Structure 1
Amino acid sequence: MRKTIFITGASSGIGQATALYFVEQGWNVVATMRSPEKQDVLTDSEQLLVLKLDVEQPETFDAVIDAALAKFGKIDALLNNAGYGQHGLFEATTAAQIQRQFSVNLFGTLEITRALLPHFRKQKAGHIISITSGVGRVTVPLVSIYAASKFALEGFCESLSFELSAQNIKVKIIEPGNIATNFEQTTKANFAVDENLTDYSKYLQQMDEVFKGIYSGGGSTARDVAATIFEAANDNSETLRYVVGSDLQPLIDIRNNGTDEAYMQVLRDTFAPKG
């Protein structure tokens, strides 16, 4: 019997790439997204079911899960992928923007996980796989709210992994570094700005050049992340964190193996104000 993965945020990027990858590997896929009508890459088939799901509307989750079970009979893995990046100066970020960042990236993930746990407990098996971010471990400027949501998600998953081990349910974290998707364009569209905050102008210009250099260096692909997610869903190990991207691992190594002062100095060398 084919295994089944339930994916949130599957309309593009990592979610879409993962849906396609798992179908190729012989899995059934429940690909959920807020607006299925806005994409034409994923379509219903014997192995693939596309459903409407907004992680900010937990009252709809049971009906979506029921539809997935009616189609495939069981769910073996949940991929918490839905999310977005609220970037910009913290001082320019509104309370509404902060609330929505946590509503999507954290609270929505918690609630869809809660909704699927009874199914996993009943079958005494399951994988809960969550996409966090490199900035859930190593922060950079202008992502304070996004990083806060991902740090929180990291803590949730780490703690949850212990209690769910009693139910033979595995918890996995995927930490992408620089990934070639439309994420950068989306975050630019959501960038928090306040024209009155001119004191930051010089620093913002400096960071714009720094980040151009970082993004121009390339990175992993969404398919690379999908392959790592597939590994996490199948390796039957107790591994919690899976890092994707050669740009991220050296910084994590510095954080894990050195002093906090040394780690912070490495980041200050790149991100501290110049001049």
Structure 2
Amino acid sequence: MAIQPVWFITAASSGFGQAIALSALRRGHTVIATARNASRIQDLAAAGAHTLAFDVTSPLSTIEGVAKQVFAEHGRVDYLINAAGYILEGSIEEVSPEEVYDSFNTNVFGTMNTVRAFLPHMRAQPLADNGVRGVVATFGSLGSWRGSAGFGVYSMTKWCCSALGESLAAELEPFKIKATVIEPGYFRTGFLNPGTRVSSKARVDAYEDENTPTGKTRRAIVKTDGNQLGDVKKGAEVIVDMLSSTGVASGKELPVRVMLGSDTEKVVRDKFASTIGILDEWKEVIRSTDSPLN
């Protein structure tokens, strides 16, 4: 008998979490959609999802209890989607230690603890029909590739999530569990809405100046909100295709990075070009620090 794929999705109340849940449901898969407040995902419950209150910043023991409950009720998790995260807007000088910790706690530590809690069960579950035991996806960003004035902490967390995805891909390969990091550009979600975006409480007048990179970023965020290039429904369809090796990804191996949006493509290509330029300009100095060969 065919194994019914099971998805566990954090932060499914909006954005990519919600869109991935709906895409998986349309394909007849089992979806466990979660949010800090389950009342915010009643639309997914109406669409056929199992819903659960889940906060990625809970203690590890609590998250382990949730994982145990999920596997007891559903038997397996084929796709573990870590979509929880938010942007902290503020210059490095302005953000407080508490604001930085809270950002890392949701965007990085929460993802790590969720993965840690679910992996023992995923490693023990039978292979799916496609020969894969499971897939773990973290969420990076265009910001995984480019630090920018005004949201440096966000970029820091997303670089971490991309490193986490790459590391997991190597660690989990012997167990036939795949891992990847999803790196979207600017997609038209509520991510930049004033009610969702978090700004540092402290404000330094020097960074409010519109002529500074930080000041320009602050005004650009307002203009970008609601006018992002990416279509989240299209992005979610591609994500589900790629994670399940179906549709546009049929017959292809899951890459370690799922990049979405022409804006991400440009940032990554520019990053490679500028980095190669640094290597070329400084190659003799770079190599001069090696120990002599014996």
The TM tier, using the shorter chain, reads: 0.7 to 0.9
The equivalent of 1:270 in structure 2 is none
Partners of 1:106 and 1:241 in 2: how far apart? Answer: 17
Q: 1:104 to 1:186 in 2, by over 3 A?
A: farther
The equivalent of 2:198 in structure 1 is 190
Contact 2:191–2:197 under 8 Å retained in 1: no
Q: Residue 92 of structure 1: SS of its match in structure 2?
A: coil
**Long gaps (5+) in structure 1:** 264-275
Contact 1:126–1:170 under 8 Å retained in 2: yes
The equivalent of 1:48 in structure 2 is 49
The equivalent of 1:121 in structure 2 is 123
Which of 242, 255, 260 pairs up with 1:232? 242
The equivalent of 1:178 in structure 2 is 186
Which of 155, 167, 178 pairs up with 1:159? 167
Partners of 1:141 and 1:83 in 2: how far apart? Answer: 19
Identity of aligned residues (%): 27
The equivalent of 2:83 in structure 1 is 81
1:202-241 alignment, distance < 5 Å: 202=209, 203=212, 204-211=214-221, 214=224, 218-235=228-245, 237-241=253-257
Aligned residues: 260
Are positions 1:21 and 2:28 aligned together?
no
Partners of 1:171 and 1:101 in 2: how far apart? Answer: 23
Partners of 1:99 and 1:226 in 2: how far apart? Answer: 29
**Long gaps (5+) in structure 2:** 128-132, 246-251, 279-294
The aligned amino acid for 1:219 is L
Q: Residue 45 of structure 2: SS of its match in structure 1?
A: coil
Q: Residue 44 of structure 2: SS of its match in structure 1?
A: coil
Partners of 1:188 and 1:206 in 2: how far apart? Answer: 20
Contact 2:150–2:218 under 8 Å retained in 1: no
Of stretches 103-112 and 138-147 in structure 1, the one that deviates more from structure 2 is 138-147
**The structure with more radius of gyration:** 2
Q: 1:60, CA displacement in angstroms?
A: 1.9
Q: 1:140, CA displacement in angstroms?
A: 2.1
Q: 1:70, CA displacement in angstroms?
A: 3.8
Q: 1:84, CA displacement in angstroms?
A: 1.0
Q: Residue 26 of structure 1: SS of its match in structure 2?
A: coil
Q: Residue 93 of structure 2: SS of its match in structure 1?
A: helix
Q: Residue 90 of structure 1: SS of its match in structure 2?
A: coil
Q: Residue 184 of structure 1: SS of its match in structure 2?
A: coil
Partners of 2:104 and 2:9 in 1: how far apart? Answer: 19
Q: 1:244, CA displacement in angstroms?
A: 0.9
Q: 1:170, CA displacement in angstroms?
A: 0.3
Partners of 2:112 and 2:223 in 1: how far apart? Answer: 35
Are positions 1:260 and 2:294 aligned together?
no
Q: Residue 96 of structure 1: SS of its match in structure 2?
A: helix
Q: 1:217, CA displacement in angstroms?
A: 5.3
The equivalent of 2:291 in structure 1 is none
TM-score (norm 2): 0.81
Contact 2:84–2:106 under 8 Å retained in 1: yes
Contact 2:10–2:17 under 8 Å retained in 1: yes
Per-residue CA deviation, residues 46-87 of structure 1 (Å, 9 max, x unaligned), is x52100111111222233223333443221110011111111
Partners of 1:112 and 1:153 in 2: how far apart? Answer: 13
Per-residue CA deviation, residues 199-227 of structure 1 (Å, 9 max, x unaligned), is 22212443344445655753112212211
Per-residue CA deviation, residues 32-55 of structure 1 (Å, 9 max, x unaligned), is 11101234312167x521001111
The aligned amino acid for 1:232 is M
Are positions 1:199 and 2:219 aligned together?
no
Of stretches 117-126 and 161-170 in structure 1, the one that deviates more from structure 2 is 117-126
Partners of 1:44 and 1:85 in 2: how far apart? Answer: 29
The aligned amino acid for 1:49 is H
Which of 251, 255, 260 pairs up with 1:244? 260
TM-score (norm 1): 0.86
